[in-house]
Amino acid sequence: MRRVYLDNNATTPVLPAVLEAMQAYFAEHFGNASSIHHHGQETRAAVERARQSVAALLGCRASEVVFTSGGTEGDNLAIFGLVRSGPVQRGTARAGDHVISSTIEHHAVLSSCKQLESSGCEVTYVPVDGQGRVDPDDVRRALRPNTRLITIMMANNETGVLQPVEEIGKVAAQADVYFHTDAVQVAGKVPIDVKRLGCDLLSISGHKMNAPQGVGALYVRKGTILRPMLYGGSHERSRRAGTENVPGIVALGRAAELAREVFAHGDLERMAGLRDRMEQTILDEVDATGVNGAGSLRVPNTSSIYFDGIEGEALVIALDLKGLAVSTGAACSSGAIEPSHVLTAMGLSPERARGSLRFSLGKQNTAEDVEFALALVPSTVARLRELSPIYNKQAVSR
């Protein structure tokens, strides 16, 4: 059976050139990068080359790149590294610290903020408008004398909506508050320049940009003192203890190089063209549907579409049975399907949020893949709606 994967915001396949680059670092060049002998020197050089490549992708110095195990660790290190710093009681936030975040963050940030709240720190979650955008003026208004950190994502994982991070960076700089942005869904899709963004910390994840799962990086602006989360050796300039994941780091470095080539060759325009064609055809062929965040700037690969009268999970399963992999933003909690916090924050009703699907393209997707999706989605939605008494009742009154 033909299978088409349009869930690249969940994870991406490792590109052949990335796999080739990392393969030599399992058995051939296996040294511990901290060893002083030949084997260690070889892997140390590979780690430092990868650091240069990641730095070139982000527009920073190599010494400002800290390798992590992925986006979740980068987000946690940024948040707990700063907010817990200072004269803290062991394991708790310094009472009185204030953090500004948003209602649409990934759980890697939201759950970290909840954890801070449970240990005495106050967090303000700024809202988004109907198009999924944070207003930088809301961030400015949320500032307090004790605000320690602003953590607001660069692009949302469900809608792909790009946030006005450059403006937020200016707000942070004027107030002299640290600014972290989760750029996990941006790296490899839109060029990043940390200097232009004005952020102090920025996290990326390998497996969202064609490197493997379990590796990532955090940009830490020179001079930012982070309290580490892991204690051990003095790896990563004492910011992240633990023997380096050399094959993963080499892969991330290679993926960063390839991402820059993609920007140079205009391949992202091709991806945006495929995404736009897919969206427009679905909107033309299916009633009672729309694109979440369509009025905002978005990363070129992501499309979040609501289908009224449909349970998103049922549609995901029906499409999967026919070979198409997409996803919902819903989370399953204690057996019940919770609507996506991102879509409800944008003002969607719980029903409309539950009836939303995320299509996310990757570098490997072709025009034929989009045709395959278009051959399935309208007919599958129509079949599920035929079975939906609620939709049919509403249709009579439409």
Residues with a catalytic annotation lie at: 332
Q: Interface mask (CB under 6 A) for ligand PLP, residues 135-154, using x and -?
A: ------------------x-
Interface with ligand PLP, residue 303, by CB under 6 A? no
Smallest distance from ligand PLP to CB 261, Å? 23
Q: Interface mask (CB under 6 A) for ligand PLP, residues 96-125, using x and -?
A: ----------x-x-----------------
The interface region with ligand PLP, picked from 182-190, 328-336, 359-367, 369-377 by CB under 6 A, is: 182-190
Smallest distance from ligand PLP to CB 163, Å? 11
The string of DSSP codes covering 32-89 is: -TT--SHHHHHHHHHHHHHHHHHHHHHTS-GGGEEEESSHHHHHHHHHHHHHT-SSPP
Number of residues that bind ligand PLP (CB under 6 A): 14
Give 207 or 354: the residue with its C-beta nearer to ligand PLP.
Answer: 207
Yes or no: say if 203 and 72 are a contact pair by the CB < 8 Å rule: no
Q: CB nearest ligand PLP: which residue? A: 71
The interface region with ligand PLP, picked from 168-176, 178-186, 292-300, 346-354 by CB under 6 A, is: 178-186
List the one residue from 157, 327, 356, 388 that touches ligand PLP (CB under 6 A): 157
Interface with ligand PLP, residue 212, by CB under 6 A? no
Smallest distance from ligand PLP to CB 225, Å? 24
Q: Cβ contacts of residue 85 below 8 Å, gap of 6+?
A: 225, 226, 227
CB neighbours of residue 207 within 10 Å: 23
Cα 327 from Cα 158, distance rounded (Å) = 9
List the one residue from 71, 160, 247, 293 that touches ligand PLP (CB under 6 A): 71
The interface region with ligand PLP, picked from 162-170, 180-188, 271-279, 305-313 by CB under 6 A, is: 180-188
Yes or no: say if 101 and 113 are a contact pair by the CB < 8 Å rule: yes
Interface with ligand PLP, residue 235, by CB under 6 A? no
Interface with ligand PLP, residue 362, by CB under 6 A? no
Interface with ligand PLP, residue 256, by CB under 6 A? no
Interface with ligand PLP, residue 185, by CB under 6 A? yes
Yes or no: say if 254 and 211 are a contact pair by the CB < 8 Å rule: yes
Yes or no: say if 58 and 65 are a contact pair by the CB < 8 Å rule: yes
Interface with ligand PLP, residue 182, by CB under 6 A? yes
Interface with ligand PLP, residue 70, by CB under 6 A? yes
Interface with ligand PLP, residue 216, by CB under 6 A? yes
Interface with ligand PLP, residue 205, by CB under 6 A? yes
- Reading across the β-sheet that carries 122-126, which strands appear in turn? 65-68, 216-220, 201-205, 178-182, 147-151, 98-102, 122-126
Cα 244 from Cα 175, distance rounded (Å) = 36
Smallest distance from ligand PLP to CB 99, Å? 17
Smallest distance from ligand PLP to CB 283, Å? 25
Identity of the residue numbered 356: S
Yes or no: say if 53 and 257 are a contact pair by the CB < 8 Å rule: yes
Q: Tokens 């996310």 correspond to what residue?
A: 360
Smallest distance from ligand PLP to CB 78, Å? 11
- Percent of residues in the chain assigned helix, strand, coil, to nearest 5: 45, 15, 40
Span 258-287, contacts to ligand PLP by CB under 6 A: none
Cα 173 from Cα 167, distance rounded (Å) = 10
Burial of 27 (0-12, 13-18, 19+ CB in 10 A): exposed
Interface with ligand PLP, residue 7, by CB under 6 A? no
Smallest distance from ligand PLP to CB 181, Å? 10
Burial of 118 (0-12, 13-18, 19+ CB in 10 A): exposed
Calculate the CA 294 to chain-centre distance: 19
Residues that bind ligand PLP (CB under 6 A): 70-72, 75, 106, 108, 153, 157, 182, 184-185, 205, 207, 216
